[in-house]
Structure 1
Amino acid sequence: MFRSVPIAFRLLPLLLVFGGVATSAAAAGAKLQPHRAIYEMRLEDARSASGITGVDGRMVYEFSGSECEGYTLNMRMVTQMTDSQGETNLTDLRSSTWEDGQGKKFRFQSAQYMNDKLGDVTMGRALRESPNEVEVRLTQPKHTELNLSPKVLFPTQHSLAVIEAAKAGKTKLEAELYDGSELGQKVYDTTSFIGNVRPPGSDDDLEPAGKERGLDKLRSWPISIGYFETKGGDLTPAYQIDFLLYENGVSRKLEIDYGDFAISGDLSQLEYLQEDACD
């Protein structure tokens, strides 16, 4: 029997960690390269309790925009999961988000299909209308309003800040993250560990797609992020994401560990997109 496929699949390359608002990070030098990346997903490890014996799929990830125009992320991940009885289920996760360059507005929508049948749908927006509050307005799965701590960060704020933290030589960062997960109801406490910088040319296992786009000429950092429930104080993360982060915002060597099973992704295609010019 399959457990519900976690919506966290869509977080893979973008949701990194912590920091101030995007403007302060960008002013300090962090910058994200608009790009389209394809990752080949597979089962990395599974405990018998998971009931999963195989995962095979692909994730297409497209990030575009700029500080002045806002940042857009479109993602689709299709995976076929096989259980211990040999039965398969096809899961199709789709999401689209937009976040303004000031970290004040965030729009999100996501849908999950199981065996071509539509399941969960989430749609809403978050507004940082004052220094003291973030207001969330959901329209799917039902009309709901939430008030969040002003400390919460949106996804691109996360990404810009973790790059800047890595450049500054920091090794650990903590933050509250809101990205519209779990039907828009979830805020995660995140703890990120940043490994030692890897100089250009140190990737012996770099995929051809990354080498063609010059990733071997950039610095990178191994990143590990634990996502914790904000209530309950559980020391075990709900899931953990590990990846190699490049200074332009591209990621590879992905792995998501859900405790009883883990999936990994290899970079198979990488295309740099035109960057929106700011006036």
Structure 2
Amino acid sequence: MATFVAPVSAFAAPPAAGTPFVAHQALYELKLLKSRGNASVNSASGRILYNFTGSACEGYTSDFRQVSELNSGEDKTTLSDLRSTSWEAGDGKSYRFKIDTRMNDGDASAVDGMAEREGDHVTVKLKQPVAKTFTLEGSTVFPTEQIHRIIAAAREGKSVLELNVYDGSDTGEKVYSTLTVIGQAITGDRKVNEPDPSTGDDGMKKLTRWPVTVSYYDKSAKSSDGGEQTPVYAMSFELYENGVSRSLMLDYNDFVIGGAMSKFNVKDSKPCK
């Protein structure tokens, strides 16, 4: 039965140049928005709790937890619990990660490793699920750098951005080809149809945000008929220039999950000396 987890990479964000960094905690409430085709998904619910701290000089730390429940009728329910902790260097050259996923009452599956940018390639060293070392293309970026480049592209007025992204998910060996579509800038004083704690925060009202949709493709997979490849999933959200994300929508092809921010807290952070 299908399950859903949000791509961790969509939440990690450093500030764009000239924008103050905000360390924060955000809570998102998940619910089913719609099912497509023959998908037998009757309901879905859950929460995402996200913590982000750090700076360009000491690196960025992200703590992410998603607990979700998916019901497909006839008492068929899948409960998933995803926990992820990562650290990424401010220059985007180093990345450490640990991801634990538990389905129903089964044993947790763990991915633990690190990646380093070395010259024209990236070297990944996994501890779990198996000890392994391998290399990736030098163009591959880590999650924080991914969002940093989206913000930079949005500031430049670009509407499309393509990146190869490695975040350590799945078995720790998957690279995603991503296609990001960036919409027109939204000023903080624009009326919001569905306000949340971020749009009500006086500090956030001064900031610009952009509607963003990131489609994630399995870089190693090929279309069966040679045609256009279908994304594994797509994530839409409004991205503030200081890295906060609101109004989430997770599209898993067969069904779509919405994530509304219910709590938002700005944390104290130490600026670089």
Q: TM-score, normalised by structure 2?
A: 0.91
Q: Match for 1:54: what amino acid?
A: S
- Contact kept, 8 Å, 2:98 with 2:111, in 1: the verdict is yes
Give the count of matched residue pairs. 267
Pairs within 5 Å for 1:143-154: 143-154=131-142
Q: After superposition, what is the alpha-carbon deviation per residue over 1:97-148, rounded to whole angstroms, capped at 9, x for unaligned?
A: 00011111100111111224333211100011x2211000011111011100
Shift in Å, 1:278: 1.4
Aligned mate of 1:181, from 169, 176, 185: 169
CA distance in 1, matches of 2:55, 2:233: 30
Q: Match for 1:114: what amino acid?
A: M
CA distance in 2, matches of 1:12, 1:57: 17
Q: 1:53 corresponds to which residue?
A: 42
SS in 2 for 1:162: helix
- Contact kept, 8 Å, 1:203 with 1:216, in 2: the verdict is no
**Does the alignment pair 1:160 with 2:148?**
yes
- Contact kept, 8 Å, 1:75 with 1:94, in 2: the verdict is yes
Shift in Å, 1:38: 0.2
- Contact kept, 8 Å, 1:110 with 1:122, in 2: the verdict is yes
**Structure 1 segments of 4+ aligned residues over 4 angstroms from their partners:** 6-9
Aligned mate of 1:78, from 52, 67, 76: 67
CA distance in 2, matches of 1:7, 1:147: 26
Pairs within 5 Å for 1:124-273: 124-128=113-117, 130-214=118-202, 215-231=204-220, 232=222, 234-273=228-267
CA distance in 1, matches of 2:170, 2:263: 29
Aligned mate of 1:13, from 8, 11, 14: 11
SS in 2 for 1:156: helix
The gaps in structure 1 that reach 5 residues or longer are 16-21
Shift in Å, 1:30: 5.0
Q: After superposition, what is the alpha-carbon deviation per residue over 1:214-266, rounded to whole angstroms, capped at 9, x for unaligned?
A: 33332111101111121326432111111111111111110111111111100
Shift in Å, 1:88: 2.2
**Does the alignment pair 1:108 with 2:97?**
yes
SS in 2 for 1:117: coil
Q: Match for 2:18: what amino acid?
A: G
Identity %: 36
Q: Match for 1:183: what amino acid?
A: T
The gaps in structure 2 that reach 5 residues or longer are none
Please identify, of 43-52 and 193-202, the stretch whose mean Cα deviation from structure 2 is larger: 43-52
Q: 2:84 corresponds to which residue?
A: 95
Q: 2:269 corresponds to which residue?
A: 275
- Contact kept, 8 Å, 2:212 with 2:239, in 1: the verdict is yes
CA distance in 1, matches of 2:258, 2:36: 15
Change (3 A) 1:9 1:227: closer
- Contact kept, 8 Å, 2:215 with 2:235, in 1: the verdict is yes
Q: After superposition, what is the alpha-carbon deviation per residue over 1:134-167, rounded to whole angstroms, capped at 9, x for unaligned?
A: 0000111110111000100011111112111111
More helix by share: 1
CA distance in 1, matches of 2:247, 2:259: 6
- Contact kept, 8 Å, 1:206 with 1:216, in 2: the verdict is no
Q: TM-score, normalised by structure 1?
A: 0.89
SS in 2 for 1:181: coil
Q: 1:19 corresponds to which residue?
A: none
